[in-house]
Copies of this chain bind each other. A is one copy, B any other.
Amino acid sequence: MGPFTPVGRLRPAARPETAMIVAERIPEVRRQVDEARQREETVRLVPTMGALHAGHRSLIQTARRDGGFVVVSLFVNPTQFGPGEDLARYPRPIEDDLAACEDEGVDLVFHPPTEEMYPDEPKTTVHVADLTGGLCGAQRPGHFDGVCTVVTKLLGIVRPDAAYFGEKDAQQLAVVRRMVADLNLPVRIRACPLVRDADTLATSSRNRYLSDQERSRALALPKAVLEAGGRIRAGERDAAAVERRVRKALEAADGVELEYVAVVDPDTLAPLETIGQQVLVAAAVRVGQTRLIDNCLLRNLDDRGEA
């Protein structure tokens, strides 16, 4: 297991900088967070499903830079997977994930077994209307209910001052922000930019499903959304024209099956006619058995291009 502090070990009041705590149980997390708070540390949560990549690392690095007690949760949440989806084969490289967390100076990893999160058949659901109907929500019914519910649970367990989400999952970010606002949850949501690999593919835990050929085919996705971003920055304001070009490019791409293209407001996810100060161009495709999403998020646009 490496040099991780086992669950339940008694710790001195002044926590040494180096020892990462790995907790599988909720009471242990709560105790550790309480102790951090008693040391007047700010508590930060990076919720993940593990299989950590450079995108996750950038979230953790941002949290680490913001300072305080950094918690990373590693939990493949079954309730956000649909019946035909990849729950069973979703990667769970726990040793690598723990090493990555330690490498990034994480203070506590919460890695609960499923029965710790769902001891009984869960009866409670947190649902965000409207924002969850389109984009990925249309393809993945119930997905965002699962996300909202598990995020609410993780916020209740860790009670962080701030929680970190990637802009790669742009719809998830908008939904979580709306949920936190609507429910007055006492947490700041911090968004971190999408991270791309050298070949421009957005980092994703699901990229490891791709064969070499599939990966090279998948590059049509970042190409299309980045091109859309370029045109918008250059002054394009007709949302339908942007959408059409991305759709055309992805429909023409070899071995790529288009799921959706959306040109929407990044906060409300409402479709745009004319692009104003901010826009999210989001798309989802299938390459072989693998579902991939990507997007270009632009804010603070002026009348003709970037501010």
Q: Which residues of B contact A130 (CB under 8 A)?
A: 123
Contacts of A203 in B (CB 8 A): none
CA–CA, A24 to B123, complex, Å? 33
Q: Given contacts A184-B156, A184-B157, is CB(A125)–CB(B127) below 8 Å?
A: yes
Write the A160-187 contact mask toward B (1 if CB under 8 angstroms, else 0): 0000000000000000001101111110
Q: Please give the number of chain A residues whose Cβ is less than 8 angstroms from any Cβ of chain B in the complex.
A: 29
Residues of the B chain whose Cβ atoms lie less than 8 Å from the Cβ of A124: 126-129, 148, 178-179, 182-183
A244–B179 CA distance with the chains assembled, in angstroms: 44
> Chain B residues near A154 (CB, 8 Å)?
184
At the interface, yes or no: A26 with Cβ under 8 Å from chain B? yes
Bound complex: CA A178 to CA B120 (Å): 10
B152, A183: Cβ atoms closer than 8 Å: yes
Closest chain B residue to A117, Cβ basis: B184
Interface residues of A in 34-55 (CB under 8 A from B): none
Oligomer: number of copies: 2
A132-173 to B contact mask, C-beta < 8 Å, 1/0: 000000000000000011001110110100000000000000
Residue numbers of A with Cβ under 8 A of B are 26, 30, 120, 122-131, 148-149, 152-154, 156-157, 159, 178-179, 181-186
Given contacts A124-B183, A156-B185, 20 further A-B contacts (CB under 8 A): A120-B181, A120-B182, A123-B128, A123-B130, A123-B131, A123-B178, A123-B182, A124-B128, A124-B148, A124-B178, A125-B129, A126-B126, A126-B127, A126-B183, A149-B183, A152-B183, A153-B182, A156-B184, A157-B184, A159-B186
